[in-house]
């Protein structure tokens, strides 16, 4: 797949005209990361905007008290990574890590800034995407603040099930990081959902869900 084709499939750039996509491809470079390798660290100055070509990039922060990671998002192929620092020039607010062997299309910061100055349509596209990302983060904050672990787990399963069934759950440690809890509680609440008939699990694979039941549970306010 060419660089232009990768960019055209990225939601951040999908609405851009062909001339803008060609201009972006002209400054892009392919980078490969092994599983666990860091693309960037929280606090670092922005170096590049990445578009995932293959693999998956995990964006996470760590609790200053416990060091436990909280996964903010997991970006699959054709999704942009670290667009906010590339847009405002501020340091990375979180860590970017290759969850599996990953290839990205990197747009170096200095060359991207020059291109944005010449093509304001790119800036507008970034603003739209940042707005969507902020809405997702607000939802995450609300879930962490007002929902029990089992409700957050129900939401996570329901969101995955809406994309495809069956699907494989991450490990309990990864799931706990996504939910903002510990592996023991993630495992216990998954068993709880299975016992209630809200999910049917074969090993780590969710093969069926009670969508209405999960939705009811996920939207029930904590008392």
Decide: 103 and 54 in contact? Cβ < 8 Å.
yes
The predicted-structure confidence for 29-82, as pLDDT tens digits, reads as follows: 999 999 999 999 999 999 999 999 999 999 988 766 666 777 888 888 999 998
Model pLDDT, residue 64:
66
Which residues of the chain are under the pLDDT cut of 50? 146, 221-223
Model pLDDT, residue 166:
92
Same domain? 32 vs 105: yes
The overall pTM is greater than 0.85:
no
Q: Which of 179, 177, 174, 137 is nearest to 156 (CA)?
A: 179
CA dihedral 14, 18, 24, 25 (to 10 degrees): 100
Q: Is residue 223 part of a domain?
A: no
Model pLDDT, residue 66:
63
If one counts the domains in the chain, the total is: 2
Among 144, 175, 203, the domain-final residue is 144
**Residue 38 token pair:** 């860091």
In terms of Cβ atoms closer than 10 Å to its own Cβ (0-12, 13-18, 19+), residue 98 is buried
C-alpha separations of 18 from 3, 8, 67, 124, 199 in Å: 12, 9, 44, 16, 44
Same domain? 110 vs 205: no
* CATH code for the domain of 107: 2.60.120.10
Same domain? 182 vs 94: no
Q: How does the average pLDDT of the chain come out, rounded?
A: 86
Range of the domain at 123: 3-144
């Amino acid at each position: 797949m060419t660089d232009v084709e990768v960019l055209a499939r990225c939601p951040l750039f999908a609405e851009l005209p062909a001339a803008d996509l060609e201009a972006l491809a002209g400054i892009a470079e392919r980078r490969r990361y092994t599983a666990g390798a860091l693309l960037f660290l929280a606090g670092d100055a922005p170096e590049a905007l990445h578009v995932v070509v293959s693999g998956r990039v995990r964006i996470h922060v760590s609790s200053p008290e416990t060091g436990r990671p909280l996964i903010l998002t997991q970006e699959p192929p054709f999704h942009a990574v670290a667009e906010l620092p590339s847009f405002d020039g501020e340091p990375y607010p979180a860590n970017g890590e290759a969850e599996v062997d990953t290839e990205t299309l990197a747009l170096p910061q200095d060359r991207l800034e020059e291109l944005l100055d010449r093509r304001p349509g790119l800036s507008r596209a970034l603003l739209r995407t940042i707005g969507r990302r902020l809405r997702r983060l607000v939802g995450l904050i609300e879930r962490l603040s007002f929902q029990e672990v089992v409700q957050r787990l129900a939401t996570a399963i329901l969101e995955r099930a809406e994309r495809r069934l069956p699907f494989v759950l991450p490990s309990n440690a990864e799931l706990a990081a996504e939910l903002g809890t510990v592996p023991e509680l993630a495992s216990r609440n998954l068993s709880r959902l299975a016992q209630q008939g809200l999910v049917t699990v074969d090993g780590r694979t969710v093969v069926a869900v009670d969508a209405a039941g999960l939705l009811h549970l996920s939207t029930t306010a904590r008392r």
